[in-house]
Every structure is written in structure tokens, then in C-alpha cells.
């Protein structure tokens, strides 16, 4: 009878050890996804900042070449409208990336692979 209890206890410990090992591997995979994705997020933000700076300089250049004050006002208004639209698009893009990264990070712990 004591052999049966020892066997059952050993099997339970082995199963628990396997679960802990699996959980550790899932956490490691999740951590790798987070590291990979944060690099992508950083690059996207740098690309957006570069685009914004180029558009700002283009507007300043156009304003410097304007013929009169009404031209400057028109250029400024056009720039502000375009920048507002760009900002909304960029915020949406970053939000979508963050949601994707969250899903990818959680997927290994849920038994999936993520995207």
C-alpha cells in the first residue's frame, strides 16, 4: 500500500514539474515576443517623428517663400489640418501595434503561437 502512495506522489510531483516547466517556457516565449515587438514599436514611432519633421519643414519652407500674409495663413492652416489627420492616423497605428503586441505576448501562455 505504501508503494502505491509513493508511486502516486511521484507521478503528481512529476506532473507538477512538467507544468512548471511548460509555464516557464511559455513565459520565456512571451518575453521574447515583447522584446521583438518593442523594437518594432520604436521603429514605427521614429518613422512617424521623421515624417512629422519633414512635413513641418516643408510647411516652413513654403511659408518662407509666401508672397503675402494670406499665403502664410493658408499654408499654416493646410499644415495644421494635415498634421491633425496624420496625428490621428499615427495614434491609430500605434494603438493597433500595441494591441497586436499584447495578443502576441499572451498567446504563448494560452497555448497559441500569436502572429
Residue 115, domain member (yes or no):
no
pTM: 0.63
CA distances from 55 to 17, 30, 91 (A): 57, 37, 17
Q: What angle do CA 99, 103, 108 make, to 5 degrees?
A: 160
Give pLDDT tens digits for 15-47: 667 776 766 776 777 677 777 777 888 899 999
Residue 54, domain member (yes or no):
yes
Whole-number Å distance between alpha carbons of 6 and 2:
6
pLDDT, position 104: 80
Residue 35, domain member (yes or no):
yes
The total number of structural domains that make up the chain:
1
Task: Please give the residue range of the domain that contains residue 17.
Answer: 2-109
Amino acid at each position: 500500500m505504501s508503494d502505491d502512495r509513493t508511486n502516486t506522489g511521484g507521478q503528481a510531483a512529476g506532473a507538477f514539474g512538467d507544468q512548471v516547466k511548460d509555464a516557464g517556457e511559455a513565459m520565456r516565449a512571451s518575453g521574447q515576443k515583447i522584446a521583438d515587438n518593442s523594437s518594432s514599436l520604436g521603429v514605427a514611432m521614429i518613422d512617424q517623428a521623421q515624417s512629422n519633421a519633414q512635413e513641418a519643414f516643408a510647411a516652413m519652407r513654403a511659408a518662407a517663400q509666401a508672397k503675402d500674409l494670406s499665403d502664410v495663413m493658408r499654408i499654416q492652416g493646410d499644415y495644421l489640418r494635415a498634421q491633425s489627420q496624420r496625428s490621428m492616423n499615427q495614434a491609430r497605428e500605434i494603438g493597433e501595434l500595441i494591441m497586436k503586441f499584447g495578443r502576441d505576448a499572451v498567446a504563448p501562455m494560452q497555448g497559441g503561437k500569436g502572429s
